[in-house]
Amino acid sequence: MREIVFDTETTGLSFAAGDRVVEIGCVELVNQCETGEVFHVYFNPQRPMPPEAQAVHGLSDAFLRDKPLFHEQVEALLDFIGESPMVAHNAGFDFAFLNGELQRCGRPSVAMSRMVDTLQIARQKLPGAKHTLDALCSRFGVDRSRRVLHGALLDAQLLAQVYVELSGGRQIGLGLLEETVVETIDFAEPIVVAIRPPRVFAASAEELARHAAFVAGLKEPLWASG
């Protein structure tokens, strides 16, 4: 099964309030194994970057000024995601921005039925634990040493590894269930086992005679003293 793990970086917390997507990163999984195929684009949001948002992802107005507009890359994005399920952490946030940008371009929204929210999965499987991406990386031993700031592609790559662990671990996707052939044995007929006759280990008459002659030739045996 093909799935897309993705993350967005934005100018703020609400598309409805005028915030925009400034970065999207997508990672392709097939049978929950990374294929190496990714989609990653920075966007010019056509609005100033608030300092508090820049502090999170480090993307400045100067950096984004010459980047494409969302509608200029929308076809490539839609081609990459196809009809696959879309996996994100706190997915409602990312879906709201993705669908907001799609609607702004006159494109259909991504159906919410395709949404897989790893935050909800983590809350169900790990009640009482911390559920941030950093915390889950630490829990599952996922190396996040490069995550100094938030970044859409890096976060999607980290989340892909966390998602596999939340789904059952690294054995998922190896295809063993599809490729293993299990042979069954029919015990309807009685099983006949040939019993081997017991082996005889007793000494022969000749061996006993040789042993007696050997013992008789011993000089001053210990058992004869006393």
User: In whole angstroms, how far apart are CA 68 and each of 41, 65, 153, 166?
Assistant: 8, 9, 17, 35
- Catalytic, 150? Answer yes
Q: Which of 57, 89, 131, 150 is catalytic?
A: 150
Q: Of 119, 161, 154, 170, which is closest to residue 138 (Cα–Cα)?
A: 161
Tell me the residue type at 206.
Answer: E
Chain centroid to CA 151: 20
10 touches 21 (CB < 8 A): yes
HSE of 60 in the Cβ direction (CA atoms, 13 Å)?
2
Torsion over CA: 4, 5, 10, 13 (sign): positive
Q: Cite the active site residues.
A: 150
